[in-house]
Amino acid sequence: MKVPTAHRTLTERSPNAHRQPPGEKYEVPHAGPDRNRGRRRVPRRRAADRTVTADDAVAHALAIGPDSSPAERTIDITTLGARTGIPRRIEIWFHRVDGRWYLTGMPGPRNWYANLRAHPRFIVHLKHGVTADLPATAKPVDEPARRRVITAVLDLQNRPEIAARVSRRQNLDDWLARSPLVEIVFDDEQLRTASSARS
């Protein structure tokens, strides 16, 4: 009976195998029996230890802080038009202060803010490190929290690497008086709990 060619290449020994250096008989460098000689053995992590779930990736993407990059702060949101009710998707930065998430922007009217005041339900679209669409509600912010959040945001805005993108230094009083600001309250309670634990 003829052995199939594919099977033969796996089972037959090459006539020149005894001449090949260790590790080359598999046509893969350093795959032979001497491949670990002189190397320190590093224990391999179990598969369970290496597994990253979608929930872990989302929690990591939401765990931004003062040293997070602009890319890590960038999300999309989908709101419903204040007058039309038509979904509107925009790119925006989000912020995390004292374990809570916020949306804000430069002083002045903003369509996204008008939309959220009319229709507080919206979607946060994560796109850095993980892709996820997270239902949320925009919650008004009281004055003490407003001052705390705006101060933290301006500390970030006035950093040299970010201030270079802005035409002028930001003014606290102007932001407090005229900037849009809402808290993001995610529907998923586990996200809120995980954020409090990481604060």
| pLDDT score at 114 | 97
Q: What is the rounded CA–CA span in Å between residue 113 and residue 116? A: 5
| pLDDT score at 181 | 97
Query: What pTM was computed for the model?
Result: 0.69
In the chain, where the domains are located? 54-198
| Residue 199 near residue 147 (C-beta atoms within 8 A) | no
Q: What is the rounded CA–CA span in Å between residue 129 and residue 62? A: 10
Q: Among 32-41, 110-119, 137-146, which is the least confidently predicted range? A: 32-41
For 54-198, CATH number out of 3.90.79.10, 2.30.110.10, 3.40.50.10800, 3.40.50.300 equals 2.30.110.10
Inform me whether the pLDDT recorded for 113 exceeds 60: yes
Mean of all residue pLDDT scores within the chain:
77
Nearest to 96 by CA among 181, 54, 153: 153
Burial of 71 (0-12, 13-18, 19+ CB in 10 A): exposed
